[in-house]
Amino acid sequence: MKRLLLLVLLLIGSSALAQEEEPLLYRDSIPAVDTLEFETVVDGLTRPLYLTHAGDGSGRLFILEQGGLIKVWNGEETTIFMDISGLVSQEALGTGYTERGLLGLAFHPDYAENGTFFVNYTDTAGVTNIARYQVSDNPDVADTGTAEIIFTENQPYANHNGGHMAFDADGYLYIALGDGGSAGDPLNAGQNPNMLLGTIMRLDVDAEIGYAIPEDNPFVGSDEGADEVWSYGWRNPWRFSFDRVTDDMYIGDVGQAQWEELNFESADSAGGLNYGWNLFEASTVYAGGGDPAVMVQPFAEYNHNSGCSVTGGYVYRGEALPDWEGVYFYSDYCTGVMWTAYRTDAETWVSDILTDTDYQVSSFGEDESGEMYVVHYGGSVLKIVPAE
C-alpha cells in the first residue's frame, strides 16, 4: 500500500513538473516596459548587421559586420574571427547606404563537433554567395582556406538581397532571398516559386559537396516550384527566426511604399506557402491583389507613419526576464520604434509599440541561454536585461 501511495505521489509530482515545464504559448498581457532596459555590452563596431552564438557551450557571441568581418566577443574583449572583406561587394566597405555585403551567418547545429559554419554575402560582382567554412585549431579564428561556395544567385539589382540564414530543429538550413530588387518586383519573382528570388529556401547542407534537397520540401517532384523553395511571395525578408522551444517560424518582410509586415509559420507547416508579394503589400492590395484566402496574411503590420523598414526578431525564451516568456520582439530600422507581439489563443495576436529608441536596429540576436540582444547599426550591441 505504501509503495502504491509513493508511486501515485511520484506520478503526481512528475505530472506537475511536466506542466511547469510546458512552454508558454499564449498570454493575456505583457509587463510594463520599465521592467526591462538595454545594456550596452559591445561598442566600437562598424555597421554591425547580426549577432548569434555557436552553440558550443563557450558562451561567446559572434557579431557580423557588413564590410566582411565576423567578430567574436568572449565577455571581455572582441577579436576578429574571420575577415572576408576582400570578397564582399566593395560599397559595403564604404560609408554610404547599401544593402550588399556580408549579410548572414549560421553555425551548424553540430558545430561543437564539426566546426562548420556558413556565411551569406554578395561578392564584388553583386552575386549572392553561400559559403561553408571550418574553424581553425584556434577556436577564436576561422580557417578561410576551407571556403566552399555551395550556392550562388545572380542579383539583377543592388537591393533586396535578403541574406538571413538559420537552422531549424531538424537541422535544415533556411536561406532568405529577396525578390531581386528595384521596386514593385519587376521580375515578378515573388509569385513565381520556380525562381529562387523572392523565396525562403530549405537546404540539407550535410552533403559532402554542395547541398542536397530535403525529400519533404514542398515542390520536390513538381513543376510548380523549384526543389529548393520552402515558401514564396517575399519581397525582402529581413531577419527570421525559429522559436527555440516550439520551432515556429517568425519572419519580418520589408514593405514597398506603405506597409511593413510580420509573418508566422507553424512548426507543423508542410511548406509551399505563399506570403503574398507582390499581389499584396502586407494585407493591402498592391499589384492587382488576388484571393487572400490562398495567401498567408501577416499577424502584424504597420504603416510608414511608424517606420520604413522592419527588422524581425525573436520570441524571448531566456531566464533573466521570466515575465516576458513567449513574447516576440521586433523593430523598425529607420525609427528605432520597438514592438512586441504575442498570442492570446491559437488565432488571436496582440501587437503594440513597446518603446521608442535611438537605435538603428539592424537585427536582434540570441545567446546560448536564450537571452536577447539588439544590434545597433550605429556600432554597438545591447543586451535586454531586467531594469534595476
For a pLDDT cut of 90, what percent of the chain falls above it? Answer: 91
Whether the upstream peptide bond of residue 278 has omega within 30° of 0, thus cis, is: yes
Q: Residue 199 has what pLDDT?
A: 98
Q: What gap in Å lies between CA 290 and CA 278, rounded to an integer?
A: 10
pLDDT tens figures, 10-41: 344 444 444 446 889 999 999 999 999 999 99
Within the chain, residue ranges assigned H as helices are 2-20, 111-114
The residues, ordered by sequence, that sit 6+ positions from 252 with a Cβ below 8 Å of its Cβ are 237, 238, 239, 240, 260, 261, 262, 263, 310, 311, 312, 313, 330
At residue 302, the pLDDT reads 98
Q: How many CB atoms lie within 10 A of CB 352?
A: 10
What distance lies between CA 385 and its chain's CA centroid?
A: 21
Q: What 3-state class would DSSP assign to 172?
A: coil
Q: Could you tell me which residues come within 8 angstroms of residue 6 by beta carbon, excluding any fewer than 6 positions away?
A: none
Is the pLDDT at 217 greater than 50? The verdict is yes
How many of the other CB atoms lie within 10 Å of CB of 358?
Answer: 9
Which grid coordinates are listed for 379? Answer: 556600432
Q: Is pLDDT above 90 for 252?
A: yes
**Which three cell numbers, joined as nine digits, stand for 58?**
563557450
- The residue among 260, 253, 251, 249 whose CA lies nearest residue 236 is 253
Task: Give yes or no for a contact between 313 and 362, defined as CB atoms under 8 angstroms apart.
Answer: no
331 closest CA partner among 368, 280, 365, 286 = 365
- What distance in Å separates the CA atoms of residue 357 and residue 33, rounded to the nearest whole number? 12
The answer for residues whose C-beta is within 8 angstroms of residue 77's C-beta and 6 or more apart is none
Q: What CATH number has the domain spanning 38-314+359-386?
A: 2.120.10.30
**pLDDT, tens digit, 9 for 90 and up, residues 85-135:** 999 999 999 888 999 999 999 999 999 999 999 999 999 999 999 999 999
- Does 4 score more than 60 pLDDT? no
Q: How far apart are CA 339 and CA 72, in angstroms?
A: 28
Burial of 305 (0-12, 13-18, 19+ CB in 10 A): exposed
With a cut of 70, say whether residue 224 has pLDDT above it. yes
Q: Residues 63, 64, 66, CA angle at the centre, nearest 5°? A: 145
Cα distance between residue 196 and residue 155, in whole Å: 11
Q: Which residues contact 246 (CB under 8 A, 6 or more apart)?
A: 23, 25, 267, 315
pLDDT of res. 10: 37
Is residue 162 a contact partner of residue 189, using CB atoms and an 8 Å limit? no
pLDDT value, residue 22:
81
C-alpha dist (Å) from residue 203 to 45, 104, 171, 267, 274: 32, 15, 9, 16, 19
* DSSP codes of every residue in 219-268: TTT-SSS-TTEEEE--S-EEEEEE-TTT--EEEEE--SSSEEEEEEE-TT
Q: How far apart are CA 61 and CA 146, in angstroms?
A: 22
Give yes or no for residue 221 having a pLDDT over 80.
yes
Three-state secondary structure call for residue 9: helix
Q: For the segment 57-89, what is each residue's pLDDT rounded down to a tens digit?
A: 999 999 999 999 999 999 999 999 999 999 999
Contact 299, 341 (CB under 8 A): yes
Q: What are the pLDDT digits (tens) for 122-174?
A: 999 999 999 999 999 999 999 999 999 999 999 999 999 999 999 999 999 99
Collect all residues with Cβ–Cβ distance below 8 Å to 237 and sequence separation of at least 6.
162, 164, 176, 178, 200, 251, 252, 253, 254, 312
Compute how many other C-beta atoms are within 10 angstroms of the C-beta atom of residue 298: 23
**β-sheet bridge partners, residue 94:** none
At 59, list the grid cell: 558562451
